[in-house]
């Protein structure tokens, strides 16, 4: 059906960082699409300029730039903007002060202590958004059953909006606060973020602070309870800071935008796109909801078009731009996340789950240590790719140009220093020729690769890099990737869409006719959204249904009133209720709608949320917990005002064959092929174009690969049927392109195993804390790929697998799964249970691969709950022991036998069996399932390439890692000499000694730990596998670039560890502290020997504890815990007697300190390791050590603050996949 004809001009605009896209519908229905630079000295504001040009060209009357635009014919304006994102990335927001509960001034600076890149030796801190901190006297504490805190019975009670009761521990002191606020105002700070603990449940104190601040003259005040009324103070505080930091910037931009129109746009509906995919009136557009304003429009665009046109088939959005690619998913509902990190700032607000991948048209190409590498560095707009004629590096765009997939004659002449020349194919060829020469030099004796083969290789590697997150995004939630449609948009995506869809098993690619400006087009189609949310702390049970229904009804009324005030009629308004639900004693909450689950007599009136939660939980995690209560964390209602806008009109068939514009030569796997070129605007809905072909649009180029067929829909969109393609023959001989692709595929197997384990595990340790690792091993037990999860697991599992091969030999059979945790069998400490499954292949008698998963179980018995006793002296005191236990035998899970083994410690005096048997069993089953996924993926790989090829590339990948480490060792020896040594000590005086002898010719080294201390009568003994893990971690850090993490890293290294030492203790020695404490000391000693960084450099705040130096050591933290009940405090720590060393003239860091402040008695120094009873009112004060300084003080200023502002990367990582990796690497 044709779209209704507009009476006036309708504008939808996406103001991006480089370009501003304008989609305009003119009176009479004519559509105009415009793309212009976001920054240009010839005009002030790009969206205003875009509107001006359309008005002028359509009316034929000159519209001067210097005069405000006439709005009489403008029907509406909708916009998305990167103003907030850019201000956040560049740290150019408003000056902000943070007001926080006393004692928590550094809470946001400390944050979650996540290190998103665990191999970076420099832990760069994001610059804080606030420049001043005000601490205010006030404190609320939740009332708890059994609380025996002295005086608590006399404290005033406050009814929280969650249903909880809070105690007024310390009243708000507004008199003192007034003086502090006046002082901050005198410094010129006019924006205030307020974070008071527990304000999400009782906002009264924050509201009083806000009233006082506004009275004194603060122009913007962001209360955390108003910005995002959700639990968890750190993300809530970051969100309030982001709002205070960004909203004034947005207000200034909006003021400037309105000034470009007559009467400041009075009477014209102006709506802005929020991060959640909904439009909001201009006056309600705020910083915390604006970070994904532009990309959200693209998601709405493909959701409304592709999903509808493809009969409801789920869709993967693929938006490939210049520096990165955005990947998202839509299957009938927008997929939101409720906490996400952008540029180091965690924002707690509904946001579309848009995952950014470091591969775009401008991603730079490298040949490093035998691998083809794409990104993450980007050439940007300046100088841009080599073909831009500004001396830029080789990029993905250059590779496509060399292959004939981009045609310069169809691009505007905007390149070169004068911005008046076409794309330069010769420059791209020169850049790729240089890479081809480096490839040839790095692979002597092999057949030299042509420029086209090298360019094609980089395209294939880039495609595989983009496939990995798509697999993770779908399979992490239990979806089959191949059952999706690939919706491609953005300027660069059309060149890669067919290849990516084919690699993922997808059968269809959909490219909208406005794909080049789909974010702007999506804003024209979007609904206006108003959301309301309140925190909650009720169980989802019949006794609470009346309260939940009451809260839902109140929020629905708020949404309806807000939308009605914007002119929507009641039949245009829809509301949808959500409950944020989780199982009791877990942290994994899901925001659930009752859509599809109508109310029953045993549910809320709004719907059967219990059934919705169970269904969603089963889909995402593979199981439910029927006997566990469900808790409601938040109640949320999303109201939408439907505009009913349709901007599409059908095409008429032409009755003629498609008109070919020209024929070019394009390079594919088969070599050069004649490739017809068509213009999209000349094609009709009865046209079908077999590949190879190129379809040119005004803003993008679409490559139809051989074996694929493109056709136009009746609305003028391109739909490509993807054929399977001709399989390319891959031999066992090393091919550097295939090496890079296999590197991605092997790593993808380990990553997908990890997602299955996280999905199907039940314990908090594995499911929420992500304390696990998964890996793939060769037939000799050598590590092939280990997703970079937990540093202490890296490389250690190899020892475990190789022990089982030596011990069991021919007793390994198909259908067997092994369980092991003993230190003598490659274990780290007993709570880390390793599950190993051999992979068999028909006709081969022995395993062809192994897969394994190691997870930290919260309890496996022993002398203390948690199986981490601070004072254990023998291994049997630390829990259940497994050496070569067959967890699955002939395909049968041995539940009775493993239960008996887990309960066995209870037979030892003073010990207990496992205290959480059901969680142990569930998590072991999850580990078996993760291994089974690995087997399936390995079998698919072997089925595709053949066993010989896969095993050959396993060896090639290991050799590649070996090459990188050898190059690093040669470089070190050339600079610092062939022999280095270092020593450090544990707090009990035990030395850790290391002497390294490097062979500069071979690039090999001997790491000799002779002279290290004897086995200790305690639990700081570290099994041999721990030292190997520490070593592989340090080598990977010192290589300084992404390399496959596998056995090859240790191939150039011989490790000498004396038997009976603290680093290779006797089989029955206690080891629980060695895993968490001695491992850190081994890392310190290795880094000290190589002189790369001082000891334990942290970036938290115990002021002055970092050692002085040119690069000052990071400060430690101070943390106090007030006990409200009788408890037992267990402490397991180090660096309380031996200071963290400084390097190259830097001073050592301060010692840590553990103090117990008795309620009515002395202050006691607890030492490094203890277990002590505590009483209500006692306070434990933890002071962690500072980091050592590096270099002599004064060389470049001895800055007080060791943290330096984060240097922005060439792209912005974000999305649920980034948050998952960030959370796991923080364990």
* pLDDT tens for each residue of 172-203: 999 999 999 999 999 999 999 999 999 999 99
What integer pLDDT is reported at residue 308 of this predicted model? 63
DSSP structure class, residue 908: S
Interior/surface letters 1072-1089, b for 16+ CB within 10 angstroms, e for the rest:
bbbbbbbbbbbbbbbbbb
pLDDT of 895 strictly over 90: no
- Whether pTM > 0.85 for this model: the answer is no
Q: How big is the chain by its Cα radius of gyration, in Å? A: 31
Q: Please state the rounded mean pLDDT for residues 418-423.
A: 83
What value does the mean pLDDT take over residues 316-343? 84
pLDDT of residue 414 exceeding 90, the answer is no
427 band by pLDDT with thresholds 50, 70 and 90: very high
Tell me the pLDDT of the chain averaged across its residues: 86
The residue written with tokens 């979650």 in the block is 112
Token pair for 193: 């973020």
DSSP states of 633-702: EEEEEEEEE--------PPPP-SSPPPP-EEEEEEETTEEEEEEEEEGGG--TT-EEESSEEEE-SS-EE
Over residues 245-295, the pLDDT tens digits come to: 999 999 999 998 999 999 899 989 999 999 989 899 998 898 888 888 888
Q: What percent of the chain has pLDDT over 70?
A: 93
Name the DSSP class of 1078.
I
Calculate mean pLDDT across residues 110-125.
Answer: 69
For the cut 50, the answer to whether the pLDDT of residue 1118 exceeds it is yes
**Tokens of residue 1208, six digits:** 């922005």
Name the pLDDT band for 1202 (thresholds 50, 70, 90): very low
Which positions ≥6 away from 312 have C-beta within 8 Å? Answer: 332
Query: Which of the four pLDDT bands, split at 50, 70 and 90, describes residue 1082?
Result: very high
Nearest residue to 1072 (alpha-carbon basis) of 902, 769, 857: 857
Has residue 996 got a pLDDT over 50?
Answer: yes
Element (H, E) at 904: none
* Predicted confidence (pLDDT) per residue in 728-770, tens digit: 667 778 777 888 888 888 888 888 888 788 777 878 788 777 7
Could you report the per-residue pLDDT of 1053-1063, keeping only the tens digit for each? 999 999 999 99
Among 147-151, 252-256, 542-546, the minimum mean pLDDT is found in 147-151
- What pLDDT is stored for residue 631 in this prediction? 92
Task: Choose the weakest-confidence range: 1-10, 335-344, 432-441, 702-711.
Answer: 1-10
Q: Mean pLDDT, to the nearest integer, of 871-879?
A: 92
How many CB atoms are closer than 10 A to CB 1132? Answer: 19
The mean pLDDT value for 952-975 works out to 87
Residue 542: pLDDT band (50, 70, 90) is very high
Min mean pLDDT across 114-123, 585-594, 641-650, 912-921 is at: 114-123
Long-range contacts of 1016-1019 (CB under 8 A, 24+ apart): 1016/986, 1016/988, 1016/990, 1016/1062, 1017/873, 1018/871, 1018/872, 1018/873, 1018/988, 1018/1070, 1018/1073, 1018/1169, 1019/869, 1019/870, 1019/871, 1019/872, 1019/873, 1019/878, 1019/1070, 1019/1071, 1019/1072, 1019/1073, 1019/1074, 1019/1132
Instruction: Encode pLDDT of 31-60 as tens digits.
Output: 898 888 777 788 888 899 999 999 999 988
Q: Do residues 834 and 853 make contact, with C-beta atoms less than 8 angstroms apart?
A: yes
In terms of DSSP bridges, do strands 671-679 and 693-696 run parallel, antiparallel, or are they unpaired? parallel
Those residues whose C-beta lies under 8 Å from the C-beta of residue 1016, and which sit 6 or more positions away, are 986, 988, 990, 1062
pLDDT at 1211 over 60: no
Most confident of the ranges 98-112, 481-495, 982-996: 982-996
Listed range (130-139, 268-277, 315-324) with the worst mean pLDDT: 315-324
Beta carbons of 225 and 334 less than 8 angstroms apart: no
Residue 577 pLDDT class (50, 70, 90 cuts)? very high
pLDDT in tens, 504-531: 889 999 999 888 888 899 999 888 989 8
Pick the more confident residue, 1150 or 111. Answer: 1150
- The alpha-helical segments, DSSP class H, found in 447-536 are 451-475, 497-503, 518-525
> What is the reported pLDDT for 1206?
31
Report the pLDDT averaged over residues 916-925.
89
Give 1215's pLDDT tier (boundaries 50, 70, 90).
Answer: low
CA-to-CA distance for 931 and 959, rounded, in angstroms?
25
Q: Is 1178 left (phi over 0), alpha (psi -120 to 50) or beta?
A: beta
Cβ atoms of 863 and 910 within 8 Å: the answer is yes
The sheet carrying 139-142 orders its strands as: 139-142, 165-170, 157-159
654-697 tens-digit pLDDT: 888 888 999 999 999 888 999 999 998 888 888 899 989 999 98
Q: What is the mean pLDDT of residues 230-248?
A: 90
pLDDT band with cut points at 50, 70 and 90 for residue 1210:
very low
- Residue 390: per-residue pLDDT: 86
DSSP state string for 180-243: HHHHHHHTT--EEEEE-TTTTT--HHHHHHHHHHHHHT-SEEEEHHHH---S-HHHHHHHHHHH
Q: Count of CB atoms within 10 A of residue 1010's CB?
A: 11
Res. 1195: pLDDT tops 70 = no
């Amino acid at each position: 059906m044709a779209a209704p004809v507009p009476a006036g001009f309708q504008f939808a605009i996406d103001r991006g960082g480089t370009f501003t896209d304008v989609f305009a519908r003119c009176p009479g229905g004519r559509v105009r699409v415009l793309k212009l630079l976001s920054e240009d000295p010839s005009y002030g504001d790009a969206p205003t300029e875009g509107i001006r040009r359309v008005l002028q060209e359509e009316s034929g009357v000159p519209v001067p730039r210097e005069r405000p635009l006439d709005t009489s014919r403008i029907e509406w304006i909708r916009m998305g903007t990167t103003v907030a994102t850019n201000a956040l990335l560049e740290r150019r927001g408003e000056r902000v002060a943070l007001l926080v509960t006393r004692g928590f001034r550094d809470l946001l600076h400390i944050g979650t202590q996540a290190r998103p890149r665990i191999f970076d030796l420099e832990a760069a801190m994001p610059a804080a958004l606030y420049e001043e901190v005000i601490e205010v006297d006030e404190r609320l504490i939740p009332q708890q059953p059994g609380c025996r805190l002295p005086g608590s019975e006399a404290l005033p009670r406050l009814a929280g909006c969650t249903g909880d009761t809070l105690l007024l521990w310390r009243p708000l002191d507004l008199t003192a606060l007034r003086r502090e606020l006046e002082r901050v105002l005198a410094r010129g700070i006019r924006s205030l973020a307020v974070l008071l603990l527990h304000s999400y449940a009782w906002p009264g104190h924050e509201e009083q602070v806000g009233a006082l601040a506004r009275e004194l003259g603060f122009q913007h005040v962001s209360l955390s309870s108003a910005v995002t009324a959700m639990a968890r103070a750190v993300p809530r505080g970051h969100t309030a800071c982001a709002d205070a930091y960004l909203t004034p910037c947005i207000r200034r931009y909006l003021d400037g935008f309105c000034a470009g129109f007559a009467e400041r746009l009075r009477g014209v509906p102006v709506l802005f796109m929020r991060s959640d995919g909904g439009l909001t009136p201009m006056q309600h557009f705020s910083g915390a909801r604006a970070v994904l304003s532009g990309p959200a429009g693209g998601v709405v665009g493909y959701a409304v078009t592709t999903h509808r046109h493809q009969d409801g088939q789920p869709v993967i959005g693929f938006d490939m731009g210049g520096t990165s690619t955005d990947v998202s998913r839509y299957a009938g509902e927008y997929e939101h996340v409720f906490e996400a990190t952008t540029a180091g700032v965690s924002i707690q607000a509904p946001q579309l789950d848009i995952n950014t991948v470091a591969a775009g048209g401008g991603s730079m190409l490298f040949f490093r240590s035998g691998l083809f590498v794409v990104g993450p560095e980007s050439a940007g707009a300046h100088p841009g790719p080599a073909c831009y004629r500004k001396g830029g590096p080789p990029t993905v765009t250059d590779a496509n140009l060399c292959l004939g997939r981009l045609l310069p004659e169809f691009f505007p002449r905007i390149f070169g220093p004068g911005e008046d020349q076409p794309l330069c194919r010769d420059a791209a060829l020169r850049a790729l020729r240089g890479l081809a020469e480096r490839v040839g030099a790095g692979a002597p004796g092999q057949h030299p690769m042509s420029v086209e083969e090298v360019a094609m290789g980089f395209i294939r590697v880039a495609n595989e890099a983009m496939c990995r997150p798509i697999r993770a995004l779908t399979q992490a939630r239990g979806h089959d990737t191949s059952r999706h449609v690939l919706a491609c948009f953005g300027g660069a995506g059309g060149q890669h869409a067919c290849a990516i869809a084919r690699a993922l098993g997808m059968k269809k690619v959909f490219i909208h006719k406005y794909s080049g400006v789909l974010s702007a087009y999506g804003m024209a189609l979007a609904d206006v959204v108003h959301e309301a949310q309140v925190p909650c702390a009720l169980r989802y049970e019949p006794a609470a249904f009346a309260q939940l229904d009451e809260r839902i009804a109140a929020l629905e009324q708020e949404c309806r009133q807000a939308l009605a005030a914007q002119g929507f009629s009641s039949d245009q308004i829809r509301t949808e209720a959500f409950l944020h639900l989780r199982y009791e004693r877990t942290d994994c909450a899901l925001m659930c709608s009752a859509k599809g689950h109508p109310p029953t007599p045993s549910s809320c009136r709004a719907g059967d949320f219990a059934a919705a939660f169970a269904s969603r939980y089963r889909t995402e995690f593979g199981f439910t917990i029927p006997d566990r209560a469900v808790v409601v964390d938040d109640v949320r209602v999303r109201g939408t005002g439907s505009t009913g806008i349709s901007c599409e009109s059908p095409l008429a068939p032409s009755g003629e064959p498609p008109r070919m514009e020209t024929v070019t030569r394009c390079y594919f796997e088969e070599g050069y092929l004649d490739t017809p070129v068509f213009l999209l605007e000349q094609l009709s809905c009865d046209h079908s174009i077999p590949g190879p072909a190129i379809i040119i649009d005004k803003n993008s180029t679409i490559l139809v690969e051989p074996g694929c067929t493109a056709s136009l829909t009746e609305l003028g969109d391109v739909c490509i049927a993807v054929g399977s393609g001709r399989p390319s023959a891959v031999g066992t001989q090393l091919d550097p392109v295939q090496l890079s692709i296999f590197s991605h595929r092997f790593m993808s197997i380990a990553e997908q195993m990890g997602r299955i384990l996280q999905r199907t595990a039940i314990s908090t340790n594995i499911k929420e804390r992500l304390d696990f690792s998964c890996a793939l091993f060769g037939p000799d037990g050598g590590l092939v790929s280990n997703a970079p999860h937990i540093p202490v697991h890296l490389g250690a599992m190899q020892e475990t697998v190789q022990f089982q091969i030596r011990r069991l030999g021919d007793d390994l059979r198909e259908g067997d799964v092994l369980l092991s945790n003993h230190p003598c069998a490659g274990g780290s400490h007993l709570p880390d249970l390793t599950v190993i499954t051999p992979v068999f292949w028909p006709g081969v008698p022995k395993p062809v691969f192994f897969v394994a998963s190691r997870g930290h179980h919260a309890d496996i018995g022993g002398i203390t709950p948690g199986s981490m006793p601070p004072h254990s002296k023998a291994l049997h005191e630390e829990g259940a022991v497994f050496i070569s236990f067959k967890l699955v035998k002939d395909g049968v899970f041995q539940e009775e036998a493993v239960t008996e083994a887990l309960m066995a410690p209870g037979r030892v005096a003073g010990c207990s069996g496992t205290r959480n048997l059901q969680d142990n069993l569930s998590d072991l089953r999850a580990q078996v399932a993760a291994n089974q996924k690995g087997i399936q993926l390995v079998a698919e790989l072997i089925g595709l390439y053949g066993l010989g090829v896969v095993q050959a590339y396993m060896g090639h990948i290991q050799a590649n890692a070996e090459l990188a480490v050898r190059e690093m060792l040669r470089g070190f020896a050339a600079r610092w000499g062939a022999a280095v040594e270092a020593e450090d000590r544990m707090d009990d005086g035990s030395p850790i000694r290391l002497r390294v002898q490097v062979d500069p010719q071979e690039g090999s080294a001997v790491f000799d730990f002779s002279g290290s201390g004897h086995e200790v009568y305690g639990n700081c003994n570290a099994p041999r596998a721990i030292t190997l893990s520490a070593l592989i971690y340090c080598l990977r850090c010192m290589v300084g670039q992404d390399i496959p993490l596998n056995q090859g890293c240790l191939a150039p290294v011989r490790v000498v560890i004396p038997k009976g030492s603290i680093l290779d203790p006797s089989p029955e020695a206690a080891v629980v502290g060695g895993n968490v404490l001695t491992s850190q000391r081994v890392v310190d000693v290795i880094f000290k020997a190589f002189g790369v960084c001082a000891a334990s450099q942290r970036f938290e705040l115990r002021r002055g504890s970092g050692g002085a130096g040119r690069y000052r050591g990071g400060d430690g933290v101070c943390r106090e815990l007030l006990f409200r009940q009788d408890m037992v405090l267990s402490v397991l720590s180090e660096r309380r007697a031996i200071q963290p060393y400084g390097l190259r003239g830097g001073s050592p860091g301060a010692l840590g300190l553990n103090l117990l402040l008795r309620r009515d008695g002395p202050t006691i120094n607890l030492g490094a390791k203890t277990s002590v009873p505590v009483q209500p009112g006692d306070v434990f004060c933890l002071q962690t050590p500072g980091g050592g300084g590096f270099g002599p003080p004064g060389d470049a200023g001895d800055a007080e603050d060791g943290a330096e502002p984060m240097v922005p990367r060439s792209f912005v990582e974000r999305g649920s996949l980034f948050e998952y990796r960030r959370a796991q690497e923080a364990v």
